[in-house]
C-alpha cells in the first residue's frame, strides 16, 4: 500500500488550515501565499511580503512557521501563529502597515475582530501594539469557534520535529531588523477557559509530551525524578528524560537535581 509522501502531507495540512481560515475569518479574500518551514531562534513564525517570485515574474508572499515548536505547544497555538501571520498578509494587501515588524492599531483591531487578542505578554493586560507582539484566544470569538469546527473535521498536524526547541512561556514574536520581513508573530499561551475547543487542541500529539501532574503517583518511585515549572514552580515526578509541559504556563518543566 502506498504511503502519503511526508512533504505533501505536512504542507497540505498547513494549506488546508490557511484556506479554511481565509474563508472563515477573512471572507475568503486573502490571496495565495507560499507557506514554508523555517527554524529561527525564539520565533514561532513570520510574514514576509513579496518574498518569492516565479520565473515568469509573478510574486507571492511568504508565511513561515517554525516546526521546532510543533511538538511542544498545543496544535491550536500553531494555528494561532498561522492566523497571526495571515493578519499581517491581510494588512499588507488591504490595509496600511507601519514600519517593518511593527504591529499597529489597524492590525490589532483586525486581530481582535477575528478572535485573537494582541498582547505584548501573551496574556491579559499586555500592550495591544508594538514591535514584539503575541496574542491569546478570545473566549467565544471567531477564531475559537472556527478552530473548533476545523478540529471537528479530523484536522491535525501530523509531522513533528524530533528535536524540538524549548518554548519560552508566552514568547512574543521577534523583530527581524532590516530584513524584508514586514511582521513577525507568535502564537502565545492560550487561556484555559476556551472551552469550545476539543482536548486535542490543547495536547500536542507526541509520545514525548505529557501534561503537568499535580499529585505524585503511588508505588515504587526509586527511579523517578522531580520536574519543576520555572514559571509557577509547580512540580511533577516521572522517569528521567521526560519532556513535561506545565498546563498553566505552557512551558517545558526542568529536571531538578534531587531524587524523588
Residue 201 lies in a domain: no
Grid coordinates representing 187? 502564537
Residue span of the structural domain in which 247 resides: 209-259
Residue 54 lies in a domain: yes
52-79 tens-digit pLDDT: 999 999 999 999 999 999 998 999 999 9
Locate all alpha helices (DSSP H) within the chain, ordered by sequence.
6-26, 75-94, 105-113, 142-152
Average pLDDT of the chain to the nearest whole number? 79
Which contacts of 230-239 are long-range, i.e. CB under 8 A and separated by 24 or more positions?
A: 230/169, 230/254, 231/169, 236/212, 237/213, 238/210, 238/213
pLDDT score of 89 more than 80: yes
Grid coordinates representing 208? 514525548
Quote the percentage of the chain above a pLDDT of 70.
72
> So what's the pLDDT on residue 115?
98
Q: Which residue has the higher pLDDT, 185 or 15?
A: 15
Residue 111 lies in a domain: yes
167-225 tens-digit pLDDT: 655 444 433 222 223 333 333 333 333 345 665 565 433 333 333 222 233 344 446 77
Q: Look at the chain and report how many structural domains it folds into.
A: 2
Do residues 127 and 44 share a domain? yes
Do residues 94 and 167 share a domain? yes
Do residues 188 and 241 share a domain? no
Residue 120 lies in a domain: yes
Of 44, 141, 61, the closest CA to residue 97 belongs to: 61
Do residues 24 and 146 share a domain? yes
240-251 tens-digit pLDDT: 778 787 776 667
> So what's the pLDDT on residue 167?
64
Residue 115 lies in a domain: yes
Amino acid at each position: 500500500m502506498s504511503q502519503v509522501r511526508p512533504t505533501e502531507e505536512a504542507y497540505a495540512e498547513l494549506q488546508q488550515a490557511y484556506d479554511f481560515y481565509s474563508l472563515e475569518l477573512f471572507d475568503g479574500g486573502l490571496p495565495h501565499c507560499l507557506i514554508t518551514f523555517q527554524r529561527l531562534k525564539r520565533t514561532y513564525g513570520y510574514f514576509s511580503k513579496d518574498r518569492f517570485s516565479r520565473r515568469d515574474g509573478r510574486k507571492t508572499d511568504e508565511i513561515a512557521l517554525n516546526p521546532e515548536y510543533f511538538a511542544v505547544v498545543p496544535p491550536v497555538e500553531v494555528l494561532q501563529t498561522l492566523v497571526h501571520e495571515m493578519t499581517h498578509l491581510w494588512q499588507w494587501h488591504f490595509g496600511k502597515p507601519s514600519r517593518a515588524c511593527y504591529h499597529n492599531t489597524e492590525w490589532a483591531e483586525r486581530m481582535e475582530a477575528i478572535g485573537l487578542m494582541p498582547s505584548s505578554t501573551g496574556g491579559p493586560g499586555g500592550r495591544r501594539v508594538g514591535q514584539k507582539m503575541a496574542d491569546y484566544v478570545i473566549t467565544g470569538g471567531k477564531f475559537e469557534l472556527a478552530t473548533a469546527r476545523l478540529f471537528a473535521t479530523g484536522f491535525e498536524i501530523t509531522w513533528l520535529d524530533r528535536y524540538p526547541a524549548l518554548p519560552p512561556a508566552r514568547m512574543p514574536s521577534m523583530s527581524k531588523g532590516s530584513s524584508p520581513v514586514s511582521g513577525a508573530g507568535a502564537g502565545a499561551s492560550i487561556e484555559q477557559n476556551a472551552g469550545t475547543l476539543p482536548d486535542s487542541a490543547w495536547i500536542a500529539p507526541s509520545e514525548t509530551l505529557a501534561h503537568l501532574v499535580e499529585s505524585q503517583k503511588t508505588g515504587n518511585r526509586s527511579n523517578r525524578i522531580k520536574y519543576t515549572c520555572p514559571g509557577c514552580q509547580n512540580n511533577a515526578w516521572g522517569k528521567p528524560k521526560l519532556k513535561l509541559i506545565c498546563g498553566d504556563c505552557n512551558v517545558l518543566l526542568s529536571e531538578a537535581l534531587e531524587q524523588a
